[in-house]
A = this chain, B = another copy of it.
Amino acid sequence: MRKVFQAELQSIGEELVDMTARVGHAMQQAWTSFATADTELAQEVIAGDARIDFLQNQLDERAIDVLALQGPVASDLRMIVGSLRMSASLERMGDLARHIAQLTRLRFPEPVVPQRILPTFEKMAQLDVAIATDLGELLQTRDLSVASRIIASNERIDELHASVFRIVAQPDWDESAPTTADTTLTSRYLERYGDHGVSVARKVSYLVTGEWDPAAAVDPRAV
């Protein structure tokens, strides 16, 4: 029983790693579609998100199967419950990449946001992709220095998100109100993606150490 159980648990871990790769790829593609007004690529992201949603449901079902084996000890249960939380966060990261792709399609053939804000969003998107890659590594290695790197990336994203509001508040920001609204939403999507990444990283840290990483205990959403 124990052996079957361990194999199932490992399989859940592999599915989580697969999800990190998919949501990272989704954000990479969503960003490229956004920056280049490529609706075909945007459509790929939107279609691909259904697959991520499917994987989350599959992982839920597997977790229920594992629980039904009645082998789990307390630490295993924590792992399984933690996995359910992680898959939910990863699924949201996929949604946020999809939202960015949807904005691309909605505004086509116009770009969604003005050229001058693109470098800021580019940095945010690349940090988001780096967080997804780091999450895959963290899940596989359980090396907590990777968790710290994820938290640092998210702090940088929060700073960039704050800087977007400063740019918008400058007197030379003469964009239309709908463009300001789209700029705000894009920034929010890119910022939330990082928050969800931190949630996953905190959960892994908790499962490894049994306590919340103090550096990670600061709620990123409070910033």
Interface of A is mostly: helix
Q: In the bound complex, what is the Cα–Cα distance between A181 and B181 (angstroms)? A: 6
Q: Verify B72–A67 contact, CB threshold 8 A.
A: yes
Q: Chain B residues with Cβ under 8 A from A63's Cβ?
A: 81
Return chain B residues, CB-CB under 8 Å to A173. Answer: 177
CB of A84 within 8 A of chain B? yes
A77 to chain B, nearest CB (A): 5
- The reply on A128 being an interface residue by CB < 8 A is no
Q: Mark A74-113, 1 if CB is under 8 A from B, else 0.
A: 1001100100110010000001000100000000000000
Task: Collect the chain B residues with CB atoms within 8 Å of residue A88's CB.
Answer: 85, 88
A135-179 CB contacts (< 8 Å) to partner B: 165, 168-169, 173, 175-178
Number of copies: 2
A185 at the interface (CB under 8 A from B): yes
Bound complex: CA A78 to CA B173 (Å)? 51
CB of A64 within 8 A of CB of B84, answer no
Q: Is the CB of A178 within 8 A of B169?
A: yes
Known contacts A68-B77, A184-B185; can you find 20 more A-B pairs with CB under 8 A?
A63-B81, A64-B77, A64-B81, A67-B67, A67-B81, A68-B72, A68-B73, A81-B84, A84-B84, A85-B88, A165-B178, A168-B181, A169-B176, A169-B178, A177-B177, A177-B180, A180-B181, A181-B181, A181-B183, A184-B184
Chosen A-B contacts, 27 in total, with CB atoms closer than 8 Å, are A63-B81, A64-B74, A64-B77, A64-B78, A67-B67, A67-B72, A67-B81, A68-B73, A68-B74, A68-B77, A84-B84, A88-B88, A99-B221, A168-B177, A168-B178, A168-B181, A169-B176, A169-B177, A169-B178, A175-B177, A177-B180, A180-B180, A180-B181, A180-B184, A181-B181, A181-B183, A181-B184
